């Protein structure tokens, strides 16, 4: 299984909150850890929303 790099995902954002610095627009949450790690530990499956930056249409 290949590790997902949230920093290269169009849905990843930095919250600038010290206790929850990472966010995911696709899943709609903020976390202390990278969103892909949270999704994997919660569901047991890798993130299905990963979209490389520049490939998302809003």
Q: CA distances (Å), 19 to each of 1, 5, 23, 26, 33, in order?
A: 29, 20, 12, 20, 10
The yes-or-no verdict on residue 58 having pLDDT over 60 is no
The number of domains in the chain is 1
Q: Provide the pLDDT for residue 2.
A: 74
Asked if residue 22 belongs to a domain, the reply is yes
Give the CA angle between residues 28, 18, 54 to the nearest 5°: 45
Q: Provide the pLDDT for residue 3.
A: 84
Q: What does the pLDDT look like over 4-39, one tens digit per residue?
A: 999 999 999 999 999 999 999 999 999 999 999 999
Instruction: Check if the beta carbon of residue 10 is closer than 8 Å to that of residue 54.
Output: yes
- Taking residues 41-58, report their average pLDDT: 85
Asked if residue 15 belongs to a domain, the reply is yes
Q: Provide the pLDDT for residue 1.
A: 58
Asked if residue 11 belongs to a domain, the reply is yes
Asked if residue 21 belongs to a domain, the reply is yes
Asked if residue 27 belongs to a domain, the reply is yes
**Domain with 21 in it:** 6-43
Please state, in angstroms and rounded to a whole number, the distance separating the CA atoms of residues 52 and 19: 26
Asked if residue 52 belongs to a domain, the reply is no
């Amino acid at each position: 299984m290949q590790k997902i790099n949230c920093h290269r995902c169009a849905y990843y954002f930095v919250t600038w909150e010290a206790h929850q610095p990472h966010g995911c627009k696709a899943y709609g949450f903020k976390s202390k850890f990278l969103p892909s790690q949270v999704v994997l530990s919660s569901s047991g499956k890798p993130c299905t929303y990963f979209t490389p930056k520049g490939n998302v249409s809003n």
